[in-house]
Amino acid sequence: MIFITTILKEVMTMYNYLITLTGKLRNNGERAKRPFRVIMEKEIADHVSSWRFIILIAIIALTCMGSLYTALSNISQAVKPNDPEGSFFFLKLFTITDGTMPSFTVFISFLGPLLGIGLGFDAINSEHNRGTLSRVLSQPIHRDYIINAKFAAALFVISVMLLSLGIMVMGAGLVTIGIPPTAEEFMRMVFFILLSILYVAFWLNMSILFSVLFRQPATAALSAIAVWLFFSVFYPLIVNLITRSMEPAATASPQQLMAFEQFHLTLMRVMPNQLFSEATTTLMMPSVRSLGPLTMEQMIGAIPGPLPLGQSILLVWPQVTGLMAGTIVSFVIAYILFMRREIRSR
Amino acid sequence: MIGSLPSCPYPLCLYCKCESTLFNFVVDIKKRQKQEEIIMLSMKKLTAVFIILSWGIISYGINAATAIDSILLYTPFTKISVPPGESIDYTIDVLNKGETLETFDLAVSNIPRSWSYTLKSGAWNVRQVSVLPGEKKSLSLRIEVPYQVNKGNYRIYVSAGDAYTLPLTVNISEQGTFRTEFTTRQSNMEGHAASTFNYTAELRNRTAEAQTYALQGQVPRGWIITFKANGKQVTSVDAEANGTVNISIEVKPADQVEEGRYVIPVRAVSGTSSGDLSLEAVITGTYKMELTTPTGLLSTDIVAGEERKINLVVRNTGTSVLSDVKLTHAAPVNWEVTFEPEKIETILAGREATVTATVRADKKAIPGDYVTNLEARTPEASSKASFRISVKTPMLWGWLGVIIILAGIGTVWYLFRKYGRR
């Protein structure tokens, strides 16, 4: 956790250094920084030094350490003969578990929303309540810089954090098992981290939306957590309730069974965490070839084997598109609401 | 005669009609014996006088005459028929019928020069023999007939001095040789190109001396011939005079041998003699083929619902002509495989034919690897090639996703322009 905070600070200094360097190169170092960048840097600095972020990062880092520890202690059992994923030994670090602790990917899918919500629920309303918003807006800047910079700063922090976590897991695995990841494994891990960033960005946008909607930060936080809980706990229950009543008999025709399975899966795919877990499973287990129900016709002649990375990405592309669309939609709503809001100083 | 009285064999005997005449008969016999004795006495006196008278006159002449006649050489079988290379053992008895001891030289004459003989009594070679009057001596004569001898009758004389000559006839039953015989019972064998031909041959040394034979076989290029004697691989063998060596000859045809009849001359050569044998190996044709690609790569990729052409090579690796080669396939469900051409008329041995297979994957095929078996088949042989075909999903849906995302970003951009920069 201290490690990540340090990394973030280092990144910030490097970023500043690069800015000044490019400024010097342009020979206009005297010019003031662009207001968007100023707001963003300020936001990042606020996040990094806030207790809220430190606690969140501590929770996530510790649970990931725990899952990494279980993965490392069980990695010897993970290697089986005739495993089509035998050449993707390194990826197992992210997926295997002995049942006592969920794996790294499951933790990200569970705690990632919390991180996004935590960084976004008070983005607008706290500024509004403190009266700082009108003060900032009295400066000659565009109004949308505020919401954009808030989002960008939180996303930047999340990206650096998840990247460093992933690299930490890779490094710890490399030290422990001594086998370097192949290029494809590395690419898969990078895509997994990008996917996680996208997933957290979705929740971040949702909480920013709530922070625009509700004046009280506590209300925004609670409603965001309610949405998260609804999707992680209640929605699957409701889907099960609905589908159980519709379940065809065991003697039903294959077409009916197929249609039912498809329907169930469609309902489940409303959940962002379902989309995320499908995408991570496909990325981290290259032998996954399909995410829906399959007919026997499709299975005849198929031999188990890992998919190439491009095919895996193509397979989860709908999920990625869905997550990205969700992110954009919530951002657009938050943006419109914020832009139309009347901001008065108290 | 007395003893035989109860059942007298003489029908004219007058004395055996009844027992009562027995006494009379005995008396009568005694009378007759007395009369005979009287006659004999008078006769002896007469001959004695005669002998004494004639002794002085003809004693010497009679002596010589009796020596010539009294010696006799005797053997029971005087004409024997043998094949060349045999030896004949005669047992010759020398009889002295005369009154005096006879000593004379023994000689075997008229024997052909290449023949050899030994005349022995017991363990000794005998040149001269003495025989007591009225006795006989046994001699053994061994005549060895060489291999190189003409067919026919040969007369050999065994003479005891000048006194007696015993003619012996040896009939040579066949034309003799001085040579090596190299024979096999089964010189012809049939098998396919991959089989090994094992011939069993006999090498018979029919010369008078031990020989060392070098063994050679003239095989076509690529063939392997090995000789084995006593289970060991050899290049030469030793054979004693008149000895026989069993040789097994192993012939392995060349790898790509064509069908046909092959004659393999085999020779066993020593310094003085040689034997020839000709073996025959009849190679039957084999039917083998291989279905592969020009590069040997048996994997390809395909986009679901689209076509992929695969170049195939049907290679005739057998030794016979393959005709009517049909191409079949076993692909996953809803996959289509067509061949161009569908059938190959003939492929000569060692040649190959090219076929193009067009594979169309199912639209609903899931990404990943599928197995498709392609097979080339004739009634005689078949070859299967398993292709690992990686199915890729079409990019269409991927682009659709990209368009949706771009539309979203475009909306955001539009909003920026509309609201942000007021």
Across B367-392, average pLDDT: 89
- Which residues form the domain of B293? 289-396
Between CA A117 and CA A231 the distance in angstroms is 14
List pLDDT tens digits, range B411-422. 988 888 887 665
Residue B139 lies inside a defined structural domain of this protein: yes
Residues in chain A: 346
Question: What was the pLDDT predicted at B397?
Answer: 80
b/e code B95-131 from CB counts within 10 Å (16+ = b): bbebeeebebebebeebeeebebebeeeeeebeebeb
3-state secondary structure of A97: coil
Using the predicted structure, report yes or no on whether residue B138 has a pLDDT greater than 80: yes
Q: How far apart are CA B324 and CA B336, in angstroms?
A: 22
Domain stop point among B133, B157, B172: B172
- Residue ranges of chain A whose pLDDT lies below 50: 28-31
Q: Output the pLDDT for position A77.
A: 77
Q: How many CB pairs under 8 A join A and B?
A: 102
B390 lies within 8 A of chain A by CB? yes
CB B88, CB B80: distance < 8 Å: yes
DSSP per-residue letters across B49-75: HHHHHHHHHHHHHHHHHHHHHHEEEE-
Q: Pick the residue from chain A with its C-alpha nearest to B372.
A: A301
Distance CA A76, CA A144 (A): 52
Decide if pLDDT at B26 tops 70: no
On whether both B156 and B200 belong to a single domain, the answer is no
d(CA B395, CA A314): 8
B415 to A320: CB separation less than 8 angstroms, yes or no: no
Smallest CA–CA distance, residue A133 to chain B, in Å, is 16
Does B367 contact A at CB distance below 8 Å?
Answer: yes
E strand spans, B75-223: 79-82, 87-96, 102-109, 116-121, 124-125, 128-131, 136-144, 152-160, 164-172, 179-184, 188-192, 197-206, 211-217
A117 closest CA partner among A197, A200, A4, A232: A200
**What would the pLDDT profile of B274-310 be if each residue is shown by its tens digit?**
888 999 999 888 788 889 999 988 888 888 888 999 9
Partner residue facing A290 (CB), from B362, B366, B411: B366
Identity (one letter) of the amino acid at B19? E
**Is the peptide bond preceding residue B341 cis, with omega within 30 degrees of 0?**
yes
Q: Residue B113 falls within a domain, yes or no?
A: yes
What is the SS3 assignment for B14? coil
Closest-CA distance, B381 to chain A, in angstroms, reads 25
> What is the C-alpha separation between A69 and A74, in angstroms, rounded?
9
Q: Is A298 on the interface with B (CB under 8 A)?
A: yes
Domain assignment present for residue B225? The answer is yes
Of B172, B206, B240, the domain-final residue = B172
Mean pLDDT for chain B? 82
- Would the pLDDT of B192 be above 70? yes
- CB of A254 less than 8 A from some CB of B: no
B226 and B136 belong to one structural domain: no
Does B50 reside within a domain? no
Asked if the model's pLDDT at residue B205 lies above 70, the reply is yes
pLDDT at B5 over 50: no
d(CA B313, CA B206): 59
Looking at residues B399-403, what average pLDDT do you find?
89
pLDDT of residue A156: 93
In a domain, B371, yes or no: yes
Question: Residue B361's closest chain A neighbor by CA?
Answer: A298
* Beta strand pairing call for B274-284 and B244-252: unpaired
pLDDT the model gives residue B66:
47
Instruction: Quote the pTM value.
Output: 0.64
Nearest Cα to B78, choosing from B92, B68, B66?
B92
Residue B65's pLDDT is: 45
Q: Name which residue leads in pLDDT, B58 or A287.
A: A287
CA pair distance A155, A119, nearest whole angstrom: 9
Q: What is the pLDDT of residue A262?
A: 87
- Structure-block tokens of residue B110: 């008229």
pLDDT at B3 (0 to 100):
42
What's the Cα-to-Cα distance from A98 to each of A20, A49, A112, A214, rounded to whole Å?
50, 36, 22, 42
CATH of the domain at B156: 2.60.40.10
Q: Give the pLDDT of residue B7.
A: 52
Tell me which residue in B368, B388, B409 faces A328 most closely, judged by beta carbons: B409
B329 and B262 fall within a common domain:
no
pLDDT at A29: 43
- Quick check: is B13 in a domain? no
Q: Give how far B422 is from chain A: nearest CA, Å.
A: 7
**Is position B188 within any domain?**
yes
Same domain membership, residue B304 and residue B255: no
Helix, strand, coil percent content, chain A, rounded in steps of 5: 75, 0, 25
Residues B300 and B248 in one domain: no
Closest CA of chain B from A301, distance in Å: 5
Residue B28's pLDDT band, with cuts at 50, 70 and 90, is: low
Here the tokens at position A129 are 């309540």
Beta-sheet pairing, B128-131 with B236-239: unpaired
Question: Within an 8 Å CB–CB cutoff, is residue A52 touching chain B?
Answer: no
What was the pLDDT predicted at B321?
86
With a cut of 90, say whether residue B250 has pLDDT above it: yes
Angle at Cα A175 formed by Cα A171 and Cα A177, nearest 5°? 110
Q: Using a CB-CB distance cutoff of 8 angstroms, which residues of chain A are in contact with residue B402?
A: 321
Distance CA A198, CA A158 (A): 10
State how many domains chain B has: 3
pLDDT of residue B200: 93
Q: What is the pLDDT of residue A204?
A: 94
Residue B137 scores a pLDDT above 60: yes
Convert the pLDDT of each residue in B302-341 to its tens digit.
888 889 999 999 988 888 888 899 999 888 888 889 998 8
